[in-house]
Structure 1
Amino acid sequence: MATVIVHATITLDGFLADPDGGVDWMFGRPSAPEDDAVVERVMARIGAVVGGANRSQTIEDGELPYGGMLKVPVYLMTHRPHDPIERDDTTYTFVVDDIAEAVALASAAAGDRWVSLLGGSISRQCLRLGLVDELHLDVAPVLLGEGISLFAGLGQRIELERLETSAYASETHLRYRVLR
């Protein structure tokens, strides 16, 4: 059975991106092999991805989950039907307005691997519906002061159990189980 995870790199003040959606703060930081190993371990376990479709329902280079490095099924939330898109050995399936269906499809595709939820809105919706098993957060040592938040607007309390923490040159890595 698949494990559904929120996997995100965030700033210390909890932002996924700056107010315009930029993520340049993620790059050019000092790194240690241990940081890379944490991320590689997570990526090796991912069997499917759920995210949001762009407005034009196309797949642009800058929007590929994990930079296109993962060749796993991707399920994209949308408000109108669209045929699946095949690109670089990855199938992008569009799911209309039913996040639970998208997670169920991704879970079936992932088998005993992980389903990675990408984006604040997707993550919050799944947390509210009780669909998330774990949070995997890579926290960068930067404060943006404002931006696109991972958890703002969640609107409910969710208890977590710490499973793992580590810190190296560029990030602090946090892994929590969602308690039900």
Structure 2
Amino acid sequence: MATFLYSASMSLDGFIAGPGGDMSWLAAHLGANPTVDDLVGNVGAILAGARTFGGDDPYRDTPQEGEAFGGGWSGPQFVLTHRPPERPVPGVTFVGDLPSAVATAGAAAGERYVNVLGADIARQCLAAGVLDEILVCVVPVLLGDGTRLFVQPGGADVRLERTRVAEAPMGTNLWFRVVR
């Protein structure tokens, strides 16, 4: 059975993207990260939200643009959206509802990770009780505005258990298990 992991790089003030989904802030902080490098080999599928899939790319204008983990990973990708593109995208399956997206991504990943990308889809997975772990790569930068790591209107008390902390050349990696 797959493990559902929400992973994201986050500014110290809690943003995973700048205003308007801008990811250019992350480009200066990309590089070797042993925790992420180890994770990439254990990802069996990606489950992304539509905004994340179609959004800004920190690898823009480089050969890695449009590639998961900057080209370090390849495999099945599933995008939760109510508006799939008119033309198919190779290697990407567009799914219209969360239960189907979770089931197909989980089946594709097998015993490996389903890497959940995007704040809103991570929130939906958490609310559905399918999110197992969270990896946050805290980057030493302040953005001041943008997309937060987690937003729940009205608030939420989500209990997490820290399982790992690792220093990386460009920040600190924090790994948590979702307590159910």
> Do they fold alike, i.e. is TM over 0.5?
yes
TM-score by length of 1: 0.84
> Residue 168 of structure 1: CA displacement?
3.2
Q: Match for residue 74 of structure 2?
A: 71
The gaps in structure 1 that reach 5 residues or longer are: none
TM-score by length of 2: 0.84
Root mean square deviation, CA, Å: 2.6
Contact 1:135-1:175 at 8 Å conserved across structures? yes
Residue pairs, 1:125-144, within 5 angstroms: 125-144=124-143
CA pair 84-111 structure 1, distance change in 2 beyond 3 A: farther
Q: Match for residue 103 of structure 2?
A: 104
Among 21, 42, 47, the alignment partner of 1:45 is: 42
Which range moved further: 130-139 or 69-78?
A: 69-78
Q: Match for residue 22 of structure 1?
A: 22
CA pair 30-158 structure 1, distance change in 2 beyond 3 A: closer
How many residues align structurally?
A: 171
Counterpart-to-counterpart distance in 2, 1:79 and 1:105: 16
> Residue 169 of structure 1: CA displacement?
2.7
* SS of alignment partner, residue 130 of structure 2: coil
> Residue 14 of structure 1: CA displacement?
1.2
Amino acid across the alignment from 2:168? Y
* SS of alignment partner, residue 10 of structure 1: strand
> Residue 144 of structure 1: CA displacement?
0.9
Contact 2:44-2:110 at 8 Å conserved across structures? yes
Query: What is the identity percentage for the equivalent residue pairs of Structure 1 and Structure 2?
Result: 39
Contact 1:84-1:94 at 8 Å conserved across structures? no
CA pair 160-175 structure 1, distance change in 2 beyond 3 A: same
Counterpart-to-counterpart distance in 1, 2:50 and 2:109: 20
Counterpart-to-counterpart distance in 1, 2:50 and 2:21: 15
Amino acid across the alignment from 1:160? L
Residue pairs, 1:1-180, within 5 angstroms: 1-29=1-29, 35-53=32-50, 62-80=65-83, 85=88, 87=90, 91-96=91-96, 98-153=97-152, 155-180=155-180
